[in-house]
Every structure is written in C-alpha cells, then in structure tokens.
Amino acid sequence: MLRLTELRLPLDHPPQALEETVRERLSLAPDALESFSVFRRGHDARRRSAIKLVYTVDCVVKEEAAVLARFRAEHPNNPHVTIAPDMSWQPPVTQAEGARLASQPEYRRPVVIGAGPCGFMAALMLARMGLRPLLLERGKVVRERTVDTFALWRRAELTPESNVQFGEGGAGTFSDGKLYSQVRDPRFLGRRVLEEFVKAGAPEEILYLAHPHIGTFRLVSMVEHIRAEIEAAGGEYRFGTRVDGLEMEAGTRRITGVRTASGEVIAADHVVMAVGHSARDTFAMLHAAGVQMQTKPFSIGVRIEHPQSVIDTAQFGPSAGNDLLGAAEYRLVHHASNGRGVYSFCMCPGGTVVAATSEVGQVVTNGMSQYSRAERNANSGMVVDLRPGEDYPDEPLAGIEFQRHWERQAFLAGGSNYNAPAQRVGDFLAGRPSTTLGAVVPSYKPGVTPTDLSKCLPAFAVEALREALPRFDRKLRGFAMEDAVMTGVETRTSSPLRLPRAADGHSIGTPGLYPAGEGAGYAGGILSAGIDGIRIAEAVALNMAGRPAEG
Ligand code: FAD
C-alpha cells in the first residue's frame, strides 16, 4: 500500500476531487487505482481566506513497485509518496502462552493499580495475552462516579475518593477527550489505542482526524465497554479498593504484593502503578516505602474563557462555523522577559471549565466538552512553567506541597465554598480586583467569586501572564478582550514527579513494580497514557514469560 501525504484541497472541494488528486499525484492510468482511504485529515488555516484541507491517503494501486519507482524517478526530491508502514501490533506473549502460564498452580496474576487510560489499556493488553490481570481502583464504577462528580459541580459536595480525578476511566473521563499527542510513537501504539477506543464505541473519525476528540458522554460509555472486554478476556476489576502499601521481600525489595486500605494483602509479583498525577497519598506511601522518585517540572496558571465565536472568527475568518472545521482550537506560547514560558494548555473548544479538585478545601480548574463542542465559551489553561529547586525544594514531594498551597489560596479567594476565584482579563491586566464580571459568563460550577487572582498565583506567574496576554491578542484577535474571564487555579497540568524505570520497565530499585502513565511521569494526556499502558503491559508479560525486554 502507498501512503500519500500533503494532498491539499480547498475546504469546499467536491467529494470526487480527492480521488482525482490521488490519481494525478501518481500519474495513474484510469483503472490503476484499486482502493484508497483517508489516513489523516487536518486543515491549514494560515490563510484565513483560503483554508485548505490537508489529507494523508493510503491507496492500493496496480503494479505498486513500478508506480513508486516512476514517481521517484520523476520527482526525486518529493518525500510525499512512500510505502505505508505496517501499523499492526503483535502481542509479545500469545494468548495461548499466557493461558498456559496462568493455569500453573503457583500462578500470581499481574495487578494493575488505577483504571485510567494507562491502567485500563495495560489491563486490556494483559487480558488479551491470557494473563488474567486484576485491576484495583480506589474510585467507583463510572456511572456512580458521575453522580459524585456532579455533586461537587451542582451542590459543592466533594467526595475525596470519587470525583473528577478518581474513579473508573481516570482523570480524563470528564474531559474534552482530545486524543492526540506529541510523543514519539515509532511503533504506532497510539493507533492501537485509538482502534481499541473505536471498538469500544468511539467514533471512527478518531482514526483519521488530525485533532480528534470524543467528549465526555462517549468517554463514559467507552470506558464501560472496555471493562466488559477486559472481563470477557479473563481480567477482573475491584472498585473502592485503594492501595495503601507495598509488600516487598526484605533485602532484594522484590515486590510480593500490595496492601489495600481495608488491610487485605493481595499477593503479586508484578504490579503496574498507574495512579495518575493526583494520587498524592499514594506518592507519599511510595516515597516512605523507598521507591525511587524525582521532581519533574510542571506548570501553574489559570483557565481563560472567551466566546467561542471570537476564537472561530480569529482563526477561520469568513469560514468560521464551517462544519468540517468545527469549533476552532488554538495553541499559544510566549517566552516572557522574566524567563518563564507561558502557554495554552488543554484547550477545550465549545466547552466548560470544571471543578477538578480531589482534596477537601482546595480549588483546581480544568476543562471539558461534549462531542458537539457546542457550548458558548472556549476555554484553555493559561499556564506558566515552574522550576523545581527554584520555586520549591528539589525534593520528590515538594511539588505536591506547592500545588496544595496554591489550591488552598484559590479556595480561600473563592470564598471557601468551592467557588473559583475569577477575574476579568481587563482588570487582571490593570492590576485591580474584579468586583463584577462582564459579557463573558463563566461556565465553572458551582460558581465563581470575582476577585484578584494575583492572590492565588506566584508573583512571577502573574507577571508572565500579564506580559503574555496582550501578545496572544496580536496572534488571536480578541484574546485579551476586557471581559474574557480567568478562573483559578490550574495546577494539575502534569505530574510533579517521576518514578524512574529501568529499560525493562520496572521501578529502579524495586523489581516487580512497574510505574506507568501520567502519575509516574511517562505520559501527558489520554492517548500517551494509553500508549504507556501498552508498553508496560508488554514489559510485564515478557517478564512473566521469562523473556528479556525487547529493545
Ligand atoms: P489517571 O487517568 O489519573 O488514572 C489514575 C487512576 O488511578 C484513577 O482512576 C485513580 O482513581 C486511580 N488511583 C489513584 N491512586 C490509587 C490507589 N492508591 N489505589 C487504587 N487506585 C488508585 N487529556 C487528554 O489527552 N485530553 C483531554 O481532553 C483531557 N482533558 C482533561 C480534562 C480534565 C478535567 C482532567 C482532570 C484531565 C484531562 N486530561 C486530558 C488529562 C488526562 O485525563 C490524563 O492525562 C490521563 O487520564 C492520565 O491517565 P493515567 O491512566 O496515567 O492516570
């Protein structure tokens, strides 16, 4: 199969134009194109008056080798026609081999802690390899978790074990469900994650859109289908089961099991630790148990909201509102003169800002959308990078204390009732507190309190944001509009620490423990967490089968 990249067509091209462009690119005879499919579709909106759709197409042609040779001879410097790579995934341990291992009397099932995208992808792959994983999740099954999450948003009632961060589906369940990532993925594991998501009910378009998303409702049912798959393949879930301790062999520190909050000890030789970036108590437990960990930079800032129509017009000009383009996204970066990087994070077109704390007495913001992205406002994190060792001590748990400090300040500034502190951009830039808000109605629930956001951000972050917003306005007209609303604080941009792994995936110094996903510092987002879940399942399976890790 041949892969053709950079096929550019106008936004309103007729359906047959793509096939014609494929034929033209390859100078094909009329009957030489057997079939073709869109591998990726993105758009180029740099010229707003002439936005282009940009396709990558896979096609089957007669006499492929000859077609390719002719193309290369005629266009020696054109890199846009290649052999399509093999993107299939082969399990390193077959189902039969895994089932044989699992039938041994002394067999101990691999334990996966955390039912987020990393944990459920790891469990799914282990189950498919016949290894019957046991998945332990501190939170609740996703539908019950939804009720608890809405209780914070509607009635300001937080359930610390069941919320936006904790429960089946993990942190990204109530999200925009953006499914793209910038991680290097030479083995196309991301494709495998997306294929599993489609099998579990996600729309097929996620396989070819350059910036796919699935939105909250679909994520919820997808997560349920994945659970059914895991159970059908011999895996098991236990909800309401928080892991509070590790069992290790004295001397070697080899893992022999885990201890749950109820005191039960579950014997295991292989434990995947996929607990996400908000499992602060679990990190403290791991630190006390001597598991190696290091600080990792993350960021702090606010959520910013604009009318989606302002962003659509700024990005797409006269094509704003075109169905193929959808609600416009943006990605902004500014290097401030105080040395800090300011960037947009987790942009949610047509979405809402959500209360995302998992601890009592704290306020944290994040964003979500439905599949339709049809809400009035666009939101994104506007965050400033942090430096361990300068902004807080370079000690593993210090980043968590830093987060907690600013999340508490936000809680106080919001009125100590889970309202978020909010400020108009005009007031923030002028250095005066907001007393009322303007035309942009903030979407954060349970509510917001107009105030001065500089009370809940480090001074360097306030300074960097004040410099960045007018710069962003030059790139995206309207971005620094007076009535745009900022709510704080955005602190859970990524994990504040990293649990280093050896080449074969285990925690350095603690054999049998496999740190994985966002919490361990190996992912940032749903897709990359899923990719890491596959990688770590491979590492566990190979170890269980007594085979060396693959390069
Ligand atoms: P998590 O998803 O955090 O899962 C960890 C799981 O472990 C949780 O279910 C938790 O309850 C469980 N757990 C923790 N401690 C224990 C313990 N001791 N015992 C048992 N279980 C435990 N990313 C995107 O790519 N796109 C988006 O649109 C997007 N939007 C987001 C919106 C919101 C509101 C939030 C909060 C996050 C969003 N993210 C998004 C980030 C994304 O959710 C995370 O990157 C991703 O979920 C990380 O996956 P993970 O499996 O590593 O960890």
Whether the Cβ atoms of residue 297 and residue 386 lie closer than 8 Å to each other: yes
Above 90 in pLDDT, residue 549? no
- Largest Cα–Cα separation, the chain: 72
Query: If you count them, how many residues does the chain have?
Result: 551
Above 80 in pLDDT, residue 373? yes
Please list the residues that pair with 272 across neighbouring strands. 112, 514
For ligand 1, atom 14: residue with the closest CA: 275
The whole-angstrom separation of Cα 115 and Cα 257 is 18
Please write the tens of the pLDDT for every residue from 374-388.
999 999 999 999 999
Indicate whether residue 268 lines ligand 1 (CB < 6 A).
no
Indicate whether residue 303 lines ligand 1 (CB < 6 A).
no
The whole-angstrom separation of Cα 510 and Cα 254 is 6
Please write the tens of the pLDDT for every residue from 505-514.
999 999 999 9
Burial class for 549, CB neighbours closer than 10 Å (0-12, 13-18, 19+): middle
Start and end residues for every CATH 3.30.70.2700 domain found in the chain: 2-83
Give the model's confidence band at 215: pLDDT under 50 very low, under 70 low, under 90 confident, else very high: confident
Above 80 in pLDDT, residue 550? no
- Mean pLDDT confidence for 108-122: 98
Of 175, 281, 445, best ligand 1 pocket probe by most atoms within 8 Å of the beta carbon: 175
Enter the tokens of residue 269: 């030789």
Helix (H) or strand (E) holding 364: none
Indicate whether residue 130 lines ligand 1 (CB < 6 A).
no
Neighbour count for residue 390 (Cβ, 10 Å): 9
Indicate whether residue 469 lines ligand 1 (CB < 6 A).
no
Percent of the chain with pLDDT over 90: 95
Give the model's confidence band at 180: pLDDT under 50 very low, under 70 low, under 90 confident, else very high: confident
Indicate whether residue 351 lines ligand 1 (CB < 6 A).
no
Q: What pLDDT is attached to residue 295?
A: 96
Phi and psi torsions of 167, nearest 5°? 130, 175
Give the model's confidence band at 183: pLDDT under 50 very low, under 70 low, under 90 confident, else very high: confident
For ligand 1, atom 11: residue with the closest CA: 166
Residue with tokens 């609303």: 485
Please write the tens of the pLDDT for every residue from 261-315.
999 999 999 999 999 999 999 999 999 999 999 999 999 999 999 999 999 999 9
Indicate whether residue 345 lines ligand 1 (CB < 6 A).
no
Indicate whether residue 122 lines ligand 1 (CB < 6 A).
no
Q: What is the CATH number of domain 96-291+513-534?
A: 3.50.50.60
Question: N- to C-terminal Cα distance for the chain?
Answer: 27
Give the model's confidence band at 551: pLDDT under 50 very low, under 70 low, under 90 confident, else very high: low
Whether the Cβ atoms of residue 446 and residue 156 lie closer than 8 Å to each other: yes
Average pLDDT, the chain: 96
- Mean pLDDT confidence for 483-493: 97
- The verdict on domain 2-83 having CATH code 3.40.50.720 is no
Indicate whether residue 519 lines ligand 1 (CB < 6 A).
yes
Please write the tens of the pLDDT for every residue from 39-59.
999 999 999 999 999 999 999
Please write the tens of the pLDDT for every residue from 435-472.
999 999 999 999 999 999 999 999 999 999 999 999 99
Start and end residues for every CATH 3.50.50.60 domain found in the chain: 96-291+513-534
Q: What pLDDT is attached to residue 237?
A: 98
Q: Give Cβ neighbours of residue 135 (< 8 Å, ≥ 6 apart).
A: 111, 112, 113, 115, 119, 120, 123, 230, 235, 236, 237, 238
Q: What pLDDT is attached to residue 176?
A: 86
Question: Residue 371 corresponds to which amino acid?
Answer: Y
Q: What pLDDT is attached to residue 508?
A: 97
Angle at 109 between CA 105 and CA 111, to 5 degrees: 160
More confident residue, 217 or 415: 415
Please state the atom number of ligand 1 nearest to the C-alpha of residue 174. Answer: 34
Above 90 in pLDDT, residue 499? yes
For ligand 1, atom 37: residue with the closest CA: 172
Enter the tokens of residue 200: 């579990």
The whole-angstrom separation of Cα 115 and Cα 419 is 29
Quick one: angle between helices 398-413 and 280-288, nearest 10?
A: 150
d(CA 519, ligand 1 centre) in Å: 8
The whole-angstrom separation of Cα 390 and Cα 386 is 8
Q: Which of 216-225, 296-305, 408-417 has the lowest mean pLDDT?
A: 216-225
The whole-angstrom separation of Cα 153 and Cα 419 is 9
- Mean pLDDT confidence for 86-107: 96
Give the model's confidence band at 515: pLDDT under 50 very low, under 70 low, under 90 confident, else very high: very high
Enter the tokens of residue 424: 């108009």
